[in-house]
Amino acid sequence: MISNYGSYFFQGLLATLVLAIVGTLVGLFLGIFLALLRNIKIDEHDSILAKVLKIIGKTFATVHIEIWRGIPMMVQAMLVFFGGAAIGISWSGLGFSDFFNGYMICGLLVITVNTSAYMAEIFRSGMNGVETGQMEAARSLGMTYMQTIWQIIIPQALKNSLPTIGNEFIVNIKDSSVLNVIGLTELYASVSAATNRNYFQIAGYIIVALIYLVLTLCTSFLIRWLSREKKNGISNPFTVKHENINSIEGETK
């Protein structure tokens, strides 16, 4: 079966990886933006215009997050696909190539926006885990809110969120399989089509299960390694070398 359908499986595997990687990375980027909007503080000294804009931004982020987290991705995919068609989008006519066809674009849109809602909450939790003193120290030195967010808070929040972001990537590898409902041929759909054609259901699904398992186990391993390296401070070789510097000096941390 693999010899006959190998390239077909490979196309499906590639589609799954593209959906998971793009969905996670772009979803993370949008999620950071949504988390910042949702966490925005309305200050009593703000002008009326600033207050109104902040309320609009905060409300938009909250509604977006709650809607996209509250509906199954399969239903979202159907709504976007048929909703898009209803307002005149011809999905089959979209696309740049056989691989990046209209179905893939619709799938990428759904998985990215869906992921952004989860990433917003993951990142918001990572931001809340950053000590309030970090923001206060930066502001007390005269740094602006955006400088502080960009230079101090986001890097630390990302570090805090890394294991959960990795987990979201694993979820995306698996959940991208539901996008076959809009006609997108990802890993599950490619194997499913092949097995149905040849009545090798058990063998086919064992193969697809193993591929998913290998992908998720490799990702888990990579995340654990990255988290460990981050904890040890890969950017600073001195950190590990001089870990016990305080005991040498007779001072305690």
Partner 1 sequence: MTKKNEPIIKVENLAKSFDGTTEILKDISFEIQKRDVIAIIGPSGSGKSTLLRCINQLESATRGDIYFHGKNIRDLSINKYRSHVGMVFQSFNLFNNKSVLENCVLPQRAVLKTKKKEAVEIAERNLELVGMSDRIHYKPSSISGGQKQRVAIARALCMNPEVLLFDEPTSALDPEMTSSVLDVMKKLVRQGMTMVVVTHEMQFAKAVANKLIFMADGYILANDRPDIVFNSCKDERVNTFLHQKYNEK
Q: Is 7 in the site for partner 1 (CB under 8 A)?
A: no
Q: Determine which residue in the list 69, 139, 224, 228 makes contact with partner 1, applying CB under 8 A.
A: 139
Q: Which of 16, 24, 2 is nearest to 180 (CA)?
A: 16
CA dist 17 and 20 (Å) reads: 5
155 and 191 Cβ atoms separated by less than 8 Å: no
For partner 1, give the closer residue by CB, 92 or 236.
236
CA pair distance 33, 42, nearest whole angstrom: 17
When asked if residue 47 is in the footprint of partner 1 (CB under 8 A), the reply is: no
CA distance 205 to 3: 16
Site string for partner 1, 95-114 (x = CB under 8 A): --------------------
Secondary structure of residue 95 in the 3-state scheme: strand
Does 128 sit near partner 1 (CB under 8 A)?
Answer: no
Q: Is 101 strand, coil or helix?
A: strand
State the nearest-atom distance from the C-beta of 155 to partner 1, in Å. 5
DSSP 127-181: HHTS-HHHHHHHHHTT--HHHHIIIIIHHHHHHHHHHHHHHHHHHHHHHGGGGGG
CA angle 89, 94, 181 (to 5 degrees): 75
Site string for partner 1, 183-202 (x = CB under 8 A): --------------------
Query: Site for partner 1 (CB under 8 A): which residue of 20, 32, 80, 138?
Result: 138
236 binds partner 1, rule: CB under 8 A:
yes
Residue 253 makes contact with partner 1 by CB under 8 A: yes
Amino acid at 198: N
> Which one of 59-67, 193-201, 210-218, 245-253 is the stretch in contact with partner 1 (CB under 8 A)?
245-253
Residues near partner 1 (CB under 8 A), total: 33
Name the segment binding partner 1 (CB under 8 A); options: 26-34, 146-154, 172-180, 221-229: 146-154
The residues of the shown chain that bind partner 1, judged by CB under 8 A, are 44-45, 131, 133-134, 136-144, 147, 151-152, 155-156, 159, 233, 236, 238-239, 242-243, 245-246, 249-253
